[in-house]
């Protein structure tokens, strides 16, 4: 994990994904100016602010501070022990025995559940997520690197099943289940893009946009499970 993201600012940006610095500042109760300095590598946070950032991003304090250990936060239990957590504080989301690919794959809510992943209810609420309308699956392939690496766990908001904004979505398209970045154009067409520059983007004409079946928007991912 650490070698690819040696600097604190790199890990911070990786954990932020698509959210803005202003949004992170609001969630962590800091000024946008301070957060911008962290993002740009101009300074690093003290312990109190480090904890606030980790909680806002739902990643572990250890990983955010050092790059060591799992990205998963202490408030997120990614194993069978999640069944024993306090349900007043945590909500469980099923991790399915299925893989989304930067190639082909398949998934449905009828697939076998491997085990639950427990997320803090306050974090889910801050992201406007309903745990009953979320699912977790695994990613395979390298076309979304460095954003999403091979083997990452993806949390999908199944309620966000239209291209409501530019972002990373799990889609069914041309017979494949994919995790891709979708970008709308002014003419109503959509670009299906990979973050890895080796892969070419796909342009879908406005007349064919309905052929893209949106499973949901990717709202969180962890590189290690």
Say what the pLDDT of residue 67 is: 78
Give alpha helix (H) positions in 67-222: 121-126
Mean pLDDT of 185-193: 92
Q: Are residues 38 and 96 in the same domain?
A: no
- How do residues 21-56 score in pLDDT, each as one tens digit? 888 888 888 888 999 999 998 998 988 888 889 888
Is 73 contained in some domain? no
Which of 73 and 47 is assigned the larger pLDDT?
47
Say what the pLDDT of residue 10 is: 84
Q: Are residues 107 and 85 in the same domain?
A: yes
Is 98 contained in some domain? yes
Q: Are residues 84 and 60 in the same domain?
A: no
- Full domain range(s) for residue 19: 2-66
**Whether the predicted pLDDT of 77 surpasses 70:** no
Q: Are residues 9 and 89 in the same domain?
A: no
Q: DSSP letters along 24-75, please?
A: HHHHHT--HHHHHHHHTTS----HHHHHHHHHHHT--HHHHHHS-S-SS-TT
Q: Which of 25-29, 38-42, 74-78, 97-101 has the lowest mean pLDDT?
A: 74-78
**Whether the predicted pLDDT of 78 surpasses 70:** no
Q: What CA–CA distance (Å, rounded) separates 198 from 178?
A: 17
3-class secondary-structure state, position 116: strand
Q: Which two tokens stand for residue 139?
A: 């990613």
Mean pLDDT of 207-213: 89
**Whether the predicted pLDDT of 73 surpasses 80:** no
- How do residues 163-173 score in pLDDT, each as one tens digit? 888 889 999 87
Is 120 contained in some domain? yes
Q: Are residues 98 and 160 in the same domain?
A: yes
- Name which of 194, 127, 196 is nearest 156 in CA terms: 127
Is 72 contained in some domain? no
Q: Are residues 92 and 45 in the same domain?
A: no
Q: Are residues 102 and 212 in the same domain?
A: yes
Q: Which two tokens stand for residue 122?
A: 């306050």
Mean pLDDT of 115-132: 84
- Name which of 140, 98, 88 is nearest 118 in CA terms: 88
- Name which of 27, 21, 32, 82 is nearest 54 in CA terms: 27
Mean pLDDT of 180-207: 92
3-class secondary-structure state, position 12: helix
Which of 189 and 165 is assigned the larger pLDDT?
189
Q: What is the CATH number of the domain that holds 173?
A: 2.10.109.10
In our burial notation (b when 16+ CB lie closer than 10 A, e otherwise), range 163-177 reads: beeeebbbbbbeeeb
Residues, the chain: 225
**Whether the predicted pLDDT of 92 surpasses 70:** yes
Which of 82 and 117 is assigned the larger pLDDT?
117
Q: What CA–CA distance (Å, rounded) separates 212 from 194?
A: 16
Q: What CA–CA distance (Å, rounded) separates 65 from 213?
A: 38
Mean pLDDT of 194-198: 90
Mean pLDDT of the chain: 79
Q: Are residues 32 and 100 in the same domain?
A: no
Number of domains in the chain: 2
């Amino acid at each position: 994990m650490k070698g690819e993201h040696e600097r604190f600012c790199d890990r911070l940006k990786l954990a932020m994904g698509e959210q803005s610095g202003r949004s992170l500042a609001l969630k962590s109760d800091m000024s946008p100016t301070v957060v911008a300095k962290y993002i740009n590598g101009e300074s690093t946070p003290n312990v109190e602010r480090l904890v606030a950032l980790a909680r806002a991003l739902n990643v572990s304090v250890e990983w955010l501070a050092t790059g060591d250990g799992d990205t998963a936060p202490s408030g997120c239990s990614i194993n069978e022990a999640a069944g024993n957590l306090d349900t007043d504080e945590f909500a469980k989301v099923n991790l399915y025995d299925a893989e989304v690919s930067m190639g082909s794959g398949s998934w449905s809510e009828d697939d076998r559940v491997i085990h639950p992943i427990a997320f803090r209810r306050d974090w889910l609420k801050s992201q406007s997520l309903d745990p009953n309308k979320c699912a977790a699956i695994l990613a395979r392939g390298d076309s979304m690197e460095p954003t999403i690496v091979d083997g990452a766990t993806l949390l999908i908001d199944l309620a966000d099943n239209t291209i409501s904004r530019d972002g990373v979505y799990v889609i069914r398209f041309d017979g494949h289940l994919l995790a891709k970045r979708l970008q709308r154009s002014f003419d109503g067409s959509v670009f299906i893009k990979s973050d890895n520059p080796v892969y070419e983007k796909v342009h879908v004409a406005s007349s064919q946009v309905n052929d893209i079946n949106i499973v949901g928007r990717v709202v969180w991912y962890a590189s290690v499970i």
